[in-house]
Structure 1
Amino acid sequence: MDILVQPLNRVIRATPGVNLLEALRAAQVPMSYSCLSGRCGICRCRVIDGEVLDGGREQQRPLDGVDGGVLACQTYVTEPCTIEVPAPEEAVVHQARVAKGVVTAIEPLAADIRRLLIKVSKPIAFSPGQYVQIAFTPAHIRPYSMANLPGQQVLEFHVQLMPKGRVSHYIATQLKVGDSVKISGPLGAAYLRHQPVGPLLCVAGGTGLASVLSVVRGAVAAGMSNPIHLYLGVRSPREMYGLAWLDQLRSTHPSLQVHVVMASGADVHQQRRGLVTQAIEQDHPSLQGWQAYVCGSPPMVESTTLLALRKGMEAVHLHAEAFYMQAD
């Protein structure tokens, strides 16, 4: 059975019923993957022609007339098909692993935001913009994005304290410096791509700034010269943080422009009023040729994604991660 792989224009042979990711790996097709369980979303690809078996839904999916996006690790090939792998030249493989860590600092960043530093037993391989699961106890587990660069033994996280949030309440009231935690990952497909496709649009809502900081820090460290437009959206002054880090990045990367947008209570001399989507709409008639990294609440991520597509950005260049706040 043949699988035509685009844009490589390669035909690989596979046995009917084989896992798609296994077939791609066996043929040494450049393909990003990590967790192998369908959680991280990194191995997403598109079925252009043919039918596959979606292991997650346990049913065959006819893909004619729809987008055809699937996770390769959860997909089984049942007949000849054509698969489009995204940006094979940007493929990254960070095998998910579990590491022990020790809390080294818990610091206030804003009224309801904490900076959490965790030293891991050995550095975890990841790409800027990814996240991990942190198990503080067996009953207190949540995903958080790294704000630092890969290769560092101390990982930096930004935690939003949620009203009645079980895990964030534990972090605020019980977690102590010296406590042991378990970290698993990396996860997430909104990681930095290095191909020079044009200006970068980085959009953060609240503590989504952690992921965006990692992306921008990674771009600067890699010597990327792309213009970067960073939009930070917050609801009120209580959520404002990170301006010193952004100023520092702006001093080392002159083509970085920072826009702080506050929904209410803003000082009009320093921040813009409204929503990040309104600011982007005002600033950029077209986003054709741009690449985007978006991280924050689901409504912000969805509205920004729709806006970027409407302004001409190609879907393959739009990398988004939604934070689902949990109060349980």
Structure 2
Amino acid sequence: MGDKHRIRFEPVGIEIEADEEETVLDAAFRQGVMLMHGCKEGQCSSCKSFLLDGDQQMERYSTFALADYESEEGYVLLCRTHAYGDLDVELINYDEEMLLSGIPPRDARARVAAVEAMTHDIVRLELELSGDDELPYRPGQYIDIQVPGTEHWRSFSMAGLPQEGPGGRLEFLIKRYPGGLFSGLLDGGIATGDQLTVKGPYGSCVMRDAPDRGIVLLAGGAGMAPILAQLRALAAAGSARPVRFYYGARTAGDLFALDEIAELGSRLADFAFIPALSEERAAGAYEHGLITDVVEGREGDLAGFDAYLCGPPGMCDAATAVLTAKGIPEERIFQDRFTTSTDT
């Protein structure tokens, strides 16, 4: 372990301690402080903040997440930042209600309980925690899974609801990518009974307590996972909030979980599910076009709604532009931006 330093976050006045060998974001996780974050790999800019004072160094990151001119001005990515002295940091994106409600991540062992194809490229993976291991989380969060036989980790969002106590199960909906270091194993490389190591939870795309506001859920592809978890939680609570669930797919063959979504929606007071196909026109209750265009065409004033998005950065950016134009403040648009890591 290295020397430890004080990190102060403004304008909220929260202080944590960070070791030189851990990132500032990891130090916050460890102490239950839920900073805004996404990929944890310097690719998505969710944790971008401004360094007011102090000595730091950053690990490698994508200039798409932090442009060179931003770095020169003093902006940093907390998921890449190591403190080499006391730091004063100004948070750009934060939710004061959630800051001190983080669940410190933990490691756990898990056994593969099921591997099931949902579509030609979406796989349902179910893990059972081993022994006395527990892994609490909130719907909308994700964990890291270690790639067997390597030191690499991959991040996947939970689709199921949290279960209390040891021996709980974790459910994922994962898209298989050619060359995917972990997802590529879901085509026969991982089988029932295999042992995996997981750690978490991570992610700040969790449902806010706002009973007076409606909810827009928007996802594409494997982005279904955390949105389905939130829908399951809303149904379990018998929520009276208006819920609009927009889901984008290429073709009708890429749609799945339709019966369950209909059943969950039947337990809500005001629910609509709107799937959209971007690459084909199909008979039935399907819209045609990009899901963000469908939202733009169907919705009017959304000032009384919160939004939860999950999908690739391009979809999230386009959806944010549409939703803010319809009245949802950007601070009430919560995102799980999927970034992909493929290895050949």
Same fold by TM (over 0.5)?
yes
Q: Say what the alpha-carbon RMSD is for the aligned residues.
A: 4.0
Match of 2:98 in 1: 90
Corresponding residue SS for 1:90: coil
Match of 1:321 in 2: 336
Give the aligned residue type for 1:86.
Answer: Y
Deviations 1:35-60, CA, capped at 9 Å, x for gaps: 9x96699995966x955666537998
1:34–1:187 CA contact under 8 A, matched in 2 = no
Deviations 1:244-289, CA, capped at 9 Å, x for gaps: 1211111111312110011122323221110111111012233323
2:158–2:229 CA contact under 8 A, matched in 1 = yes
Q: 1:326 to 1:44 in 2, by over 3 A?
A: closer
1:165–1:327 CA contact under 8 A, matched in 2 = yes
1:291 maps to 2:300: no
Match of 2:58 in 1: 56
Alignment of 1:72-221 (within 5 A): 74=81, 86-91=94-99, 92-121=101-130, 122-139=133-150, 141-151=153-163, 153-196=168-211, 198-221=213-236
Gaps of 5+ in 1: none
1:103–1:181 CA contact under 8 A, matched in 2 = yes
Counterpart Cα distance in 2 of 1:52 and 1:289: 41
Gaps of 5+ in 2: 1-7, 18-22, 61-69
Deviations 1:149-191, CA, capped at 9 Å, x for gaps: 1225111011212234343221212211000001111122212
1:260–1:272 CA contact under 8 A, matched in 2 = yes
Match of 2:66 in 1: none
Counterpart Cα distance in 1 of 2:134 and 2:331: 30
Q: 1:270 aligns with which of 285, 289, 309?
A: 285
Counterpart Cα distance in 2 of 1:137 and 1:123: 20
Counterpart Cα distance in 2 of 1:207 and 1:82: 33
- Give the C-alpha shift of residue 87 in structure 1: 3.5
TM-score by length of 1: 0.79
Counterpart Cα distance in 2 of 1:301 and 1:179: 34
Give the aligned residue type for 1:88.
Answer: E
Deviations 1:96-128, CA, capped at 9 Å, x for gaps: 111000001111211222111100133311111
Q: 1:130 to 1:24 in 2, by over 3 A?
A: closer
Q: 1:256 aligns with which of 258, 264, 271?
A: 271
Counterpart Cα distance in 1 of 2:190 and 2:202: 24
Counterpart Cα distance in 1 of 2:82 and 2:184: 39
2:158–2:225 CA contact under 8 A, matched in 1 = yes
Aligned length: 314
Counterpart Cα distance in 1 of 2:338 and 2:322: 19
Give the aligned residue type for 2:163.
Answer: G
Q: 1:256 to 1:243 in 2, by over 3 A?
A: same
Q: Identity, % of aligned pairs?
A: 24
Deviations 1:18-43, CA, capped at 9 Å, x for gaps: x9889999xx9x942599x9669999
1:53–1:61 CA contact under 8 A, matched in 2 = no
Counterpart Cα distance in 2 of 1:23 and 1:146: 23
Corresponding residue SS for 2:143: strand
